[in-house]
């Protein structure tokens, strides 16, 4: 009722914060079909520069479970001192101060940050990082870019790319192709160690504009509680057909005991009923599909309609948690942890969630086809973000790349060990059993300094909290699911219209949600899809196809 | 500035206009210079506020010109293409926009009826408690929910009244079916009001408590001596005493008629569907902000301001007719 | 503050009325305090209890101060409290000076009353966009400066209109008699208007103070140096930390559950207001104007 403002009234905040609010929630819907890179219709691009050559570093401690191009290696213990190797030659020799703009999921670091000082010594320069809380990244990004003083290193989130980012990159950031494309990346061995799928999202307009922060290639999957399901049904969940899945849901749901088979979540602008997993079951493609030479969107196929009907069937039978349209991702996770919900679509990191109470086991359901055939899992952007370098002369760009190279020091290297654990005694201690434990100073300083947002080693499967079983499960699932990865044909492409018409896509998404909830009929969905096709999607398709032809 | 001002010290300068209460405008024409000298202390008093408004509202408001442009991010504002009223006609031509406006006005109206009187009633109730410590306790408890974020408040409602919440789980155990309080589009606006009442009614009492404190006690005493009972004292002294502030707050609320909350609604929009839940602010978010289309947002903001302006003017006029000062008056 | 518990003229209340009032009080307190019980309980519960209860603990089975410890250790929050205290105290003072003087000035007839009032009211209805405001703050050199947390929002039109509304209710006779005694505008403001407006000024001071205390978005936008972040902004990051693994938790230690952090954050932010409110309340007693207009 009263306006206790302090600078920004409710309204300005809302308009702006709205950008930041909930956009994070788009993560799961976008993971499967993020256009990582881009080719804007604007400038004529020319050839596609080759991605940096992949030169995996094989030195260092042997993993307990080996990895591969698509599977993360498992390390059950921290590297021993003797195992550490050097991965960089000398300091980064960067002059002056390096400014950065990074996201943070942690509280700020304390004022006296010895870790940062030590890192600056290692890197040979001063660091001035603007650390932005994750729930407000978008408005802050918008104001900093509009304000005109662009920092040297800027993080672009894979799941929340700013509007018109190809134009922004071209206007303000350096084209790194001449430094990183093909074999040129060998000058930066730690960057060459980053797997190729992660680089795909950094190639925009056919040119390389950033250094990625690697993540596993898997999009979303159906995380489950195999321990509870085993208690209820006698065996861990391994459905192979749609009917088996329905049976599984029926067997574990007991509304009176407040237990539901599966839950979706609200992503702010839409509800996700587990669309990626369910769609994959019916063969719905990852965002788009090339039928011959024509691009067809996933919503345009009958398989999508089948998916929606199936979801509605499950919802009407009461297998979905009834509050699905309102609960947030973290609330759904709490329900998973306490057994209220036994399956929930999430990213691969949910399996090794360190906040899960003792005794809780997570795994993921192996995808399968509705009729019993092989399943698909959508391939995501394979990165968390990429770091772009502000336009500068060649020498400066080289300096900054050396800096990023240092930060991407692989697991098991001395530099990587320092970046992860800080200085011995001060930031971490070694237990008798070899485990490395962060001290209070370490916890307060290392994560919040957010150096790993600028560049980092390829992500491995490890945890400081002992959770051997879940690490093994994640690894096993990754191995089995790797052959099922399905790439999106529009990876590396950008559609201007797609960036400007989220509203009509969201409106259609709302209609589908209304259908699942029973408030509108199937025909409304079909006609909604038809009109959305005409009003926006055909244009988007045309733009993507144009680029496909140009760049192939 | 006229040169007729004499250099008499302020303290013995006679008042220029007749010392009238209620302000009958003087018919004598006073030269501007004299007015300026007379009012200069007042001018000084009002200057800090005006400077702050100029710097932090008016000049940045010039940026609202992007409502008439197709704002392109990352290039200077003047370089964006000019589109005149295109943004506005796009809004007016969208049925979803009108749905949002309709929902917004419905919610405003329902809250005026259901929410607005509650702080007043509570304030009067608290004011009538005789023990100061009891008044303290009740007041302090009442305003606490104001400090919970909507995320937490909606979370509470979901946990208790949601389809998977405490109430429904209990009903299911008793085989009594379920009630869909949080996901029923038909009752959504009432749900919103009840949430707002829980969260903000207590905080709203503070202003009315101040108004009640400003009523001269001797009026009550005199009325009691004249034989007026409690109800009569309430009707003839208390209510008229707080009427000006009630009218004032009502008018100000109407000025924000098209703003009914954002976070509270966005958290529950998916459960009831945009048909019932879309309000202007969420519409702008889904149709402007997420597309990076700042122009639409600013255009909607201008519409909100204009509608609010009209409502304030009308409400203020109505207040005058009822004998109240309102937010401003011609005196 | 009146020492008489019930004024003589009020008469004795009927028992029915007393009973109803008591019932109303009990119901109000229950409806509000029960959720707050949950807030407090959740903030001191262990991860197991919080998870088992689905995020909202009614009565803690085991007691832990982990959430508070995590928030208050390390000095980050302490620093933020100091910054926010400065902003709140200085900001409220500046705001009060601007608001009260403007309210008084605009409640008096003057050559500029009408136009300036219109200008001021118009800002209530139209708010500037985020980026132009940011550019203005940048232009004034206030980026990374705590004054960016005070000045842009120092003057609230709503608060001024309310204060002005109260001031218009001050009996004209008091003003006139002061003028006859030769007082200037500032003297009238200081010696007559301010004491009579105690209640509304206290209330508006509370509104401003709470506004400054809870602000976070302006700190987010204008302040890059995290050592100058305000309390709410810092506290929100603790909640964020507990509730998101999207970025991959690089920290090895086990955190208190997100829900506990969220509730602890609420309570930490509320405590100063609980302390400050009684100060305001003292001015809300009856009879501010009593005896003022006697002969």
pLDDT of residue B116: 95
Residues 239-258 of C with CB under 8 A from A: 240-255, 257-258
Give buried/exposed letters for C273-286 (b at 16+ CB in 10 A, else e). Answer: beebbeebbebbeb
Question: How many residues in total does chain A contain?
Answer: 552
Share of chain B above pLDDT 90, in %: 51
**pLDDT, tens digit, for every residue of A64-107?**
999 888 899 999 988 888 888 988 877 666 778 999 999 999 89
Burial class for C73, CB neighbours closer than 10 Å (0-12, 13-18, 19+): middle
Percent share of chain A, pLDDT over 70: 91
Angstrom distance (rounded) from CA A261 to CA A437: 37
Say how far apart CA B146 and CA B120 lie, in whole Å. 16
Best mean pLDDT range from A487-501, B140-154, B317-331:
B140-154
In this complex, do B143 and C277 lie within 8 Å of one another by their Cβ atoms? Answer: yes
Average the pLDDT over A257-280 and give the result.
92
| pLDDT score recorded for residue C7 | 67
Instruction: Using only the alpha carbons of chain A, give its radius of gyration.
Output: 24
Residue range B314-322: average pLDDT?
A: 91
**What is the ipTM score, two decimals?**
0.88
CA distance C174 to C191: 11
pLDDT at A533 over 60: yes
Q: In chain B, which residues have their Cβ closer than 8 Å to the Cβ of C189?
A: 45
> What does the pLDDT average to over A163-168?
88
Contact (CB<8Å) C129/B298: yes
Write phi, then psi, for A474 (nearest 5 degrees): -60, -45
Q: What is the mean pLDDT of residues B205-209?
A: 93
Average pLDDT over chain B, rounded to an integer? 86
Band of residue C293 on the pLDDT scale cut at 50, 70, 90: very low
Question: What is the spatial distance between Cα A48 and Cα A493, in angstroms, rounded to a whole number?
Answer: 11
Domain edges within chain C: 8-64, 69-292
Which residue, A279, A478, A463, A442, is CA-closest to A366? A478
Tokens of A296: 């067809």
Proportion of chain A above pLDDT 90, given as a percent: 66
**Cα A267–Cα A272–Cα A274 angle in degrees, nearest 5:** 140
Those residues with Cβ within 8 angstroms of residue A505's Cβ, 6 or more apart along the chain or in another chain: A532, A536
State residue B330's pLDDT score: 65
User: C113-125 vs B32-53: helix axis angle to the nearest 10?
Assistant: 20
A203 DSSP β-pair partners: A208
Among C249, C254, C258, pick the best mutation site for testing chain A contact (most A Cβ within 10 A).
C249
Nearest CA in chain C to B77: C132
Closest partner CB to B147 (pick from C155, C189, C266): C266
CB–CB contact B73 A163 (8 Å): yes
**Average pLDDT for residues C285-289, to the nearest whole number?**
56
d(CA C42, CA B148): 14
The residue of A1, A6, A76, A150 whose CB has the most chain C CBs within 10 angstroms, and thus the best one to mutate to test that interface, is A6
**Mean of the pLDDT values across residues A111-130?**
92
Counted residue by residue, chain C has a size of 295
Closest approach of A222 to chain B, Cα-based (Å) = 21
The phi and psi torsions of B264 (rounded to 5 degrees) equal -60, -40
pLDDT at A195: 93
Tens of pLDDT along C180-199? 888 888 888 888 899 889 88
Q: Give the separation between CA B207 and CA B199, rounded to whole angstroms.
A: 16
- Which stretches of A173-238 are DSSP H helices? 177-180, 189-192, 196-200, 226-233
Whose CA is closest to C111, among B34, B54, A14? B34
| Mean pLDDT across chain A | 87
Query: Is residue A17 scored above 70 in pLDDT?
Result: no
Determine the residue among A76, A78, A107, A442 to mutate to test chain C binding: the one whose Cβ has the most chain C Cβ atoms within 10 Å: A107
Q: Look up the CATH number of domain C69-292.
A: 1.10.3720.10
Nearest to B39 among C110, C155, C278 (CB): C110
Residue A492: the pLDDT is 78
pLDDT of residue C244: 56
DSSP secondary structure of C245-278: -TT-----SPPPPHHHHHHHHHHHHHHHHHHHHH
- DSSP annotation of C154 reads S
pLDDT at B27: 56
State how far the alpha carbon of C176 is from the alpha carbons of C190, C290, C291, in Å. 15, 18, 17
Q: Where are the domains of chain A?
A: 87-218+384-462, 221-378+487-551
Which residues are A223's β-sheet partners? A344, A364
pLDDT at B13 > cutoff 60: no
Q: Which residues in chain B have their CB less than 8 angstroms from residue C131's CB?
A: 63, 294
Q: Does B124 touch chain C (CB under 8 A)?
A: no
- Same topology between domain A87-218+384-462 and domain A221-378+487-551: yes
Average pLDDT over residues A109-124: 91
Q: Given this model, what pLDDT does residue A26 score?
A: 25
What are the tens digits of pLDDT across the range B238-267?
Answer: 999 899 999 999 999 999 999 998 999 999
For C150, the 3-state DSSP assignment is coil
Tell me what the mean pLDDT of segment A331-341 comes to: 93
Helix pair angle (C113-125, C157-167), 10° resolution: 140
Q: Which of C128, C133, C251 is closest, CB to CB, to A447?
A: C251
pLDDT confidence tier of residue B54, bands split at 50, 70 and 90: very high
Whether residue B15 lies within 8 A of chain C, CB to CB, comes out as yes
pLDDT at A344: 97
Which of A27-31, A173-177, B306-310, C274-278 is predicted with the least confidence, judged by mean pLDDT?
A: A27-31
Indicate the range of A92-96, A183-187, A433-437, C76-80 predicted with least confidence.
A92-96
**pLDDT tens per residue, range C68-107:** 988 888 788 999 999 999 999 999 999 999 999 999 999 9
CATH topology of domain A87-218+384-462: D-Maltodextrin-Binding Protein; domain 2 (3.40.190)
User: Could you tell me the pLDDT band of residue C242, with boundaries at 50, 70 and 90?
Assistant: low
Contacts A–C by Cβ distance under 8 A: 196
Q: How far is CA A484 from the centre of its chain?
A: 18
pLDDT at B268: 92
What pLDDT sits at residue A12? 40
Nearest one of B114, B140, B115 to B126, comparing CA atoms: B140
Q: What is the 3-state secondary structure (H, E, C) of A278-342?
A: HHHHCCCCCCEEEECCEEEEHHHCHHHHHHHHHHHHHHHCCCECCCCCCCCHHHHHHHHHCCCEE
- In this prediction, residue C14 has a pLDDT band, given cuts at 50, 70 and 90, of confident
Residue A261 has pLDDT above 50, yes or no: yes
Q: What is the mean pLDDT of residues C124-128?
A: 90
**Interface test mutation site (partner A, options C56, C252, C280, max chain A beta carbons within 10 A):** C252
Residues 312 to 331 of A: which have CB under 8 A from any C CB? 330-331
State which fold the A221-378+487-551 domain adopts.
Answer: D-Maltodextrin-Binding Protein; domain 2 (3.40.190)
> pLDDT value at position B88?
93
| In the predicted structure, residue B10 carries a pLDDT above the cut 60 | no
pLDDT in tens, B92-117: 999 999 999 999 999 999 999 999 99
- Evaluate whether B219 touches B105 at the Cβ level (below 8 Å): no
The confidence score (pLDDT) of residue C243 equals: 63
- Return the bridge partners of A379, or none: A218
CB neighbourhood size of A307 (10 A): 26
CA A94 – CA A86 distance, rounded (Å): 19
């Amino acid at each position: 009722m009263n306006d206790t403002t302090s600078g920004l009234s409710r309204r300005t905040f809302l308009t702006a914060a709205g950008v930041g609010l909930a956009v994070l929630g788009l993560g799961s819907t976008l993971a499967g079909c993020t256009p990582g890179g881009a080719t804007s219709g604007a400038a004529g691009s020319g050839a596609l520069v080759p991605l940096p050559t992949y030169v995996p570093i094989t030195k260092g401690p042997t993993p307990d479970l080996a990895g591969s191009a698509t599977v993360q290696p498992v390390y059950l213990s921290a590297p021993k001192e003797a195992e550490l190797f050097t991965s960089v030659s000398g300091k980064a020799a960067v002059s002056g101060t390096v400014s950065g703009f990074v996201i943070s999921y942690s509280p700020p670091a304390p004022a006296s940050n010895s870790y940062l000082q030590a890192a600056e010594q290692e890197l040979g320069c001063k660091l001035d990082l603007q650390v932005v809380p994750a729930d407000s990244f978008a408005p802050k990004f918008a104001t900093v870019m509009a304000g005109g003083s662009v920092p040297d290193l800027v993080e672009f989130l894979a799941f929340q790319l700013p509007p018109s980012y190809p134009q922004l990159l071209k206007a303000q950031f350096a084209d790194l192709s001449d430094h990183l494309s093909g074999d040129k990346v060998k000058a930066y061995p730690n960057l060459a160690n980053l797997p190729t799928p992660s680089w795909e999202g950094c190639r925009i307009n056919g040119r390389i504009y950033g250094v990625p922060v690697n993540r596993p290639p898997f999009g979303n999957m159906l995380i489950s509680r195999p321990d509870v399901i085993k208690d209820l049904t006698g065996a861990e969940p391994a459905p192979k057909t749609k009917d088996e899945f329905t049976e599984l849901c029926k067997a574990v749901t007991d509304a009176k005991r407040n237990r539901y088979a599966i839950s979706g979540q609200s992503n702010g602008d839409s509800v996700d009923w587990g669309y990626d997993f369910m769609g994959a079951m019916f063969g719905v493609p990852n965002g788009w599909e090339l039928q011959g030479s024509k691009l067809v969107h996933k919503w345009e196929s009958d398989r999508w309609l089948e998916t929606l009907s199936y979801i509605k069937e499950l919802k009407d039978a009461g297998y979905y948690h009834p509050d699905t349209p309102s609960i947030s991702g973290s609330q759904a996770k709490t329900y998973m942890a306490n057994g209220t919900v036994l399956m929930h679509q999430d990213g691969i990191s949910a399996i090794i969630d360190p906040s899960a109470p003792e005794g809780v086991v997570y795994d993921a359901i192996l995808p399968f086809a509705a009729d019993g055939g092989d399943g698909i899992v959508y391939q995501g952007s394979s990165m968390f973000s990429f770091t772009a370098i502000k336009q500068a002369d060649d020498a400066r760009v080289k300096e900054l790349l050396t800096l990023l190279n240092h930060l991407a020091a692989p697991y098991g290297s001395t530099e990587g060990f320092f970046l992860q654990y800080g200085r011995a005694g001060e930031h971490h201690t070694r237990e008798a059993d070899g485990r490395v434990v962060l001290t209070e100073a370490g916890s307060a300083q290392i994560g919040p300094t957010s150096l790993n947002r600028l560049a980092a080693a390829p992500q491995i499967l490890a945890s400081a909290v002992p959770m051997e079983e879940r690490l093994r499960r994640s690894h096993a699932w990754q191995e089995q699911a790797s052959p099922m990865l399905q790439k999106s044909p529009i990876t590396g492409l950008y559609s201007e219209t797609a960036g400007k018409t989220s509203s009509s896509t969201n409106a259609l998404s709302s209609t589908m949600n209304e259908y699942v909830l029973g408030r509108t009929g199937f025909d409304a969905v079909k006609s909604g899809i038809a009109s959305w096709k005409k009003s926006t999607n055909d244009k988007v398709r045309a733009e993507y196809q144009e680029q496909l032809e140009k760049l192939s | 500035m006229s040169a007729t001002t004499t250099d008499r010290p302020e303290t013995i300068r006679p008042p220029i206009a007749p010392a009238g209460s209620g302000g009958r405008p003087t018919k004598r024409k006073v030269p501007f210079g004299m007015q300026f000298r007379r009012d200069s202390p007042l001018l000084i008093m009002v200057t800090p506020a005006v400077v702050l408004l100029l710097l932090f509202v008016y000049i940045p408001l010039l940026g609202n010109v992007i409502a008439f442009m197709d704002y392109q991010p990352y290039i200077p504002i003047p370089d964006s293409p000019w589109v005149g009223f295109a943004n506005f006609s796009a809004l007016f031509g969208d049925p979803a926009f009108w749905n949002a406006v309709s929902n917004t006005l419905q919610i405003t109206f329902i809250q005026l009826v259901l929410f607005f009187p509650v702080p007043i009633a509570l304030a009067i109730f608290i004011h009538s408690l005789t023990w100061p410590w009891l008044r303290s306790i009740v007041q302090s408890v009442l305003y606490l929910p104001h400090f919970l974020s909507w995320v937490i408040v909606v979370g509470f409602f979901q946990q208790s009244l949601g389809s998977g919440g405490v109430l429904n789980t209990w009903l299911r155990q008793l085989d009594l079916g379920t009630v869909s309080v949080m996901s029923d589009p038909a009752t959504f606006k009432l749900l919103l009001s009840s949430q707002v009442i829980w969260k903000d009614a207590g905080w709203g009492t503070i202003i009315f408590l101040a108004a009640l404190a400003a009523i001269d006690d001797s009026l009550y005493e005199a009325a009691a001596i004249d034989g007026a009972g409690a109800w009569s004292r309430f009707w003839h002294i208390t209510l008229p005493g707080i009427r000006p502030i009630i009218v004032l707050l009502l008018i100000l609320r109407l000025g924000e008629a098209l703003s009914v909350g954002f976070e509270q609604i966005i958290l529950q929009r998916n459960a009831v569907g945009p048909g019932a839940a879309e309000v202007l602010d969420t519409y702008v978010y889904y149709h402007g902000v997420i597309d990076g289309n700042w122009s639409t947002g600013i255009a909607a903001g201008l519409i909100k301001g204009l509608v609010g302006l009209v409502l304030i003017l009308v409400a203020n006029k109505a207040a005058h007719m009822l004998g109240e000062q309102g937010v401003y008056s011609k005196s | 503050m009146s020492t008489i518990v019930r004024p003589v003229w009020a008469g004795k209340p009927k028992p029915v009325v007393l009973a109803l009032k008591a019932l109303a009080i009990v119901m109000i307190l229950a409806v509000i305090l029960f959720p707050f019980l949950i807030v407090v309980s959740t903030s001191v519960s262990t991860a197991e209890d919080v998870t088992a209860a689905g995020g909202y603990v009614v009565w803690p089975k085991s007691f832990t101060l982990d959430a508070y410890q995590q928030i208050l250790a390390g000095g980050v929050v302490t620093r933020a409290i100091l910054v926010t205290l400065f902003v709140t105290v200085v900001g409220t003072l500046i705001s009060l000076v601007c608001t009260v003087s403007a309210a008084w000035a605009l409640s008096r007839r003057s050559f500029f009353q009408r136009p300036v009032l219109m200008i001021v009211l118009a800002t209530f209805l139209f708010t500037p966009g985020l980026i132009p405001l940011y550019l203005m703050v940048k232009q004034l050199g206030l980026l990374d400066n705590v004054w960016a947390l005070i000045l842009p929002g120092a003057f609230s039109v709503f608060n001024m209109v309310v204060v002005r509304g109260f001031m218009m209710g001050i009996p004209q006779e008091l003003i006139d008699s002061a003028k006859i005694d030769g007082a200037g505008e500032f003297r009238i403001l200081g010696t007559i208007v301010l004491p009579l407006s105690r209640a509304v000024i206290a209330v508006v001071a509370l509104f401003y103070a709470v506004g400054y205390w809870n602000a976070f978005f302006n700190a987010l936008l204008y302040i890059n140096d995290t050592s100058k972040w305000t309390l709410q902004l810092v506290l929100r990051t603790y909640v964020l930390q507990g509730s998101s693994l999207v970025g991959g938790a690089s920290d090895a230690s086990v955190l208190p559950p997100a829900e506990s952090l969220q509730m602890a954050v609420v309570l930490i932010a509320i405590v100063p207001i609980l302390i400050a409110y009684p100060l305001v309340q003292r001015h809300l007693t009856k009879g501010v104007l009593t005896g003022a207009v006697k002969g």
